[in-house]
Structure 1
């Protein structure tokens, strides 16, 4: 039998403490998400509504098929920056007329939907996901263009947005723009480069230069409607394919366009799947608030995979990394999950072999992170930890099956790379509120700096300031701790969102469904040299 047993004691003091710590983190996370949901604040939301307009998320809700989920991406973008949380844009994946689509929506309550540097990064990440997974894209447009005070950070990289649209079209991935308001200057190229364009009567304004700029550039007197109104573009310029009488009509027409795409997924949906044997609610109490306390990742796997059925690979070898085969919402997956944190030579070689097997079988990989990195020390260096870790990273780097990553606990150092961190292009990467990620743990990093500074003083024959050293260590620990937190990392788009552990199975199911829109084939003979 390959159904996982459980040893989780939900009545224990440790479980209760872990659960309480996770719930406290989730409460904090809810407060940060609320900032994104608030948009530009009550004043600007009220002004937007007074104009008879729907909010960005209301537009998305009307667009989606009834009672279907929306997987929002990067909701905390720009957290900790000078710009509002959410980066004045909503992005995500949802189902429209039975078709999984990438959806982006400007939030016009935040500085008129103007794009700041984080808006660009968020849009680029959304396009990356859409392109990799061959998802038709729908862009709900209402933006004043670039946030001009930050133009130096927007203008040069911003042009890639139009490149992404045209490359998607060239690859046969449909894209659709629904223009609800302003789409001016460079933003006019969004509808200009989409396959299908819908504009709302007396609302949409699409022009390269508005009346003031035209007056300054040419001396010509003009007005919004004759220069870039929806009716003009529908009757005269031909930029608008459909002329909508209001926002609801525009959304209805967008759904019709998607219905007529004749779009097919590369792989059929697998149908209903058996749920796990254990309650997803119990995921709240598995990871300790202190990441130095280990946990068995099988307890997590047992609450994620279909029927809690997990066929473990090499269970007696390299035991601090759990590997094995399972199904998740009917989709086959290979799972790599850190058990005791540290990756040794055996774990690295085991991972490399397992990744190669998944590629031979065309099976997507799921990485569940809780690692402090590869083991250090004379014994391990002499035993070849560098070349063995390199084998694992080589395998991850060159693997061609889709990768999904979830940061449950620690994800430090090169272990983050070997477990398919952001730099290794996982199709999706999410974090739990308990996760932390950095070059190393705060205490270790501060200690390394202290040792180096002490050695430097000794080499120069200078006395060492122990009091100053203690202050430096405390400052560095605090800095690294704050920079390791998931909201900090999510704000910089180093993940696709911080999720409630109880939602993990659903989120991964949505991701697996998305990746099966595009055909994929594992690598057979394209790996680099494995140092033996």
Structure 2
């Protein structure tokens, strides 16, 4: 059997060109939103320069190995959460986060975006840092934290944020106990709960004249006890590195502090093996064609083999049970040299497709191959024949397999992700190692028009029982309102703002992102950290 995929896609066709323009427009919107956060932060540059400091993005750039891969995470966190005006909402959650290399060591990097509201954690910022801590723990990544934060925004105080915020510090303790280095560079203030960020780190680097860490700052101290003390006396860098012992290293400025952090990572000995991997074949088809494959509306069909052929090594696909449950695609391939199983959808998941996917997931677990889900599903098949055929029980078997799979699972939401199809295709609720969205992806319990029509039918039936004649104009207005509610919440930028994915990516970057994530999973599997009963206690 030939593994070479024969494409029938015409990238120069009228439909393809239309889809390409629509996708490019969405990518432009994505980049504009990311740039909005960077621009908002950069407005503080004169203040930072006056204090002899680097901006947050400058710190991250200086910390990371030049030219090495870097995958930003949750860059749209908080979008449309601080305001419902898409023209004014600043995404990011008040912090930067991503996976990259420091001194050759693959790490999780988090930095307070202190150019915006002094680094106060913004809407969804807590969910963002908890998510990246989870990624670090599951993938055995050292955790590097660049701290300069006003902490919680008291003008938007919510008790649940305070209570659940304790998980942030719990996770730092868990990372350390798991044998994963936790290194903090304290660039500026860390007050109250924020003081536990360095307190729960294995190693802390402080900056003379800038670092501050105290449970109560001068104003709170005066209000609570009447005691008068300066910031330096309470929590300055020299005091903590020379008196309290909270800090291990005292740097003269941001640059030296980041240089120390790089040196510390280089000395962990965590660099991956330099053993060369077999030569990796690039896809036969151009990655640029991924822009033109996905429609703006989920009702237009797509052969997801075309997507697979543009992200896997050599465009070689070995399809599993191709004649059985044909709308559900199960394919063996390689990405970046890693053997993987890919599961996708060319239509609703029917009984045969669910059984096929269950079989395939178990087969991949037996082989030890990670599974990549390319979501494009309107859900499980409905109807009399489907129900009588046992759709519920067969779909449940697929969900059982996804839930209990013993290999890393990575999800890319390419198109529609509707109903229980989101679950069966390893949506966020099923804890994939990584989950990214394409800009035109849609996530919802069902399509907006389908939801509106369902509710319209129910409403009209209720009116008929009461002898009421529906007002067509009123019914249409309600229909349009429901469609708008569903469509706005289904949008990838909205769901990413809620931290329901790990970021929205350009489809052309899919292969590179998957290869990075698969490398990360493989490196985690090969590493055995020195676990301890407790994290490293500060002395």
TM-score w.r.t. structure 2 length?
0.93
Query: Within the alignment, does 1:18 sit opposite 2:25 as a pair?
Result: no
SS of aligned partner of 1:319: coil
Query: Within the alignment, does 1:239 sit opposite 2:246 as a pair?
Result: yes
Q: 1:141 to 1:271 in 2, by over 3 A?
A: farther
For 2:40 and 2:179, locate their aligned partners in 1 and report how far apart those are by CA, in whole Å. 34
Equivalent position of 1:526 in the other structure? none
1:464 aligns with one of 467, 470, 489: 470
For 2:441 and 2:208, locate their aligned partners in 1 and report how far apart those are by CA, in whole Å. 47
Shift of residue 392, structure 1, vs aligned partner:
0.8
The answer to whether the Cα contact below 8 Å between 1:72 and 1:92 also exists between their aligned partners in 2 is: yes
Deviations 1:268-295 (A, max 9, x none): 7745411111110111111122321111
SS of aligned partner of 1:519: helix
Shift of residue 36, structure 1, vs aligned partner:
2.1
Q: Which runs of 4+ in 1 moved over 4 A?
A: 264-269
1:197 aligns with one of 187, 199, 204: 204
SS of aligned partner of 2:97: strand
SS of aligned partner of 1:323: strand
2:359 aligns with one of 349, 353, 367: 353
Shift of residue 52, structure 1, vs aligned partner:
2.2
Equivalent position of 2:93 in the other structure? 87
RMSD: 1.7
Deviations 1:296-346 (A, max 9, x none): 11111111011111111111111111111111111111100111x211101
Deviations 1:67-116 (A, max 9, x none): 11221000001101116311110011001111110000001111100123
2:318 aligns with one of 302, 308, 311: 311
Equivalent position of 2:225 in the other structure? 218
Equivalent position of 2:376 in the other structure? 370
Count of paired positions: 519
The answer to whether the Cα contact below 8 Å between 2:81 and 2:123 also exists between their aligned partners in 1 is: no
For 2:275 and 2:188, locate their aligned partners in 1 and report how far apart those are by CA, in whole Å. 38
The answer to whether the Cα contact below 8 Å between 2:103 and 2:265 also exists between their aligned partners in 1 is: yes
Shift of residue 143, structure 1, vs aligned partner:
0.4
Shift of residue 267, structure 1, vs aligned partner:
11
Query: Within the alignment, does 1:282 sit opposite 2:283 as a pair?
Result: no
Query: Within the alignment, does 1:96 sit opposite 2:102 as a pair?
Result: yes
For 1:367 and 1:282, locate their aligned partners in 2 and report how far apart those are by CA, in whole Å. 20
For 1:344 and 1:290, locate their aligned partners in 2 and report how far apart those are by CA, in whole Å. 22
Equivalent position of 2:141 in the other structure? 135
Gaps of 5+ in 2: 84-89, 528-539
Equivalent position of 2:171 in the other structure? 164
The answer to whether the Cα contact below 8 Å between 2:97 and 2:109 also exists between their aligned partners in 1 is: yes
TM-score w.r.t. structure 1 length?
0.95
Deviations 1:437-496 (A, max 9, x none): 100011100000001111111223332233211110011111111111100010001111
For 2:274 and 2:416, locate their aligned partners in 1 and report how far apart those are by CA, in whole Å. 34
Of the structure 1 ranges 64-73 and 132-141, higher mean CA displacement relative to structure 2 is found in 64-73
The answer to whether the Cα contact below 8 Å between 2:112 and 2:119 also exists between their aligned partners in 1 is: yes
The answer to whether the Cα contact below 8 Å between 2:82 and 2:123 also exists between their aligned partners in 1 is: no
For 1:121 and 1:314, locate their aligned partners in 2 and report how far apart those are by CA, in whole Å. 40
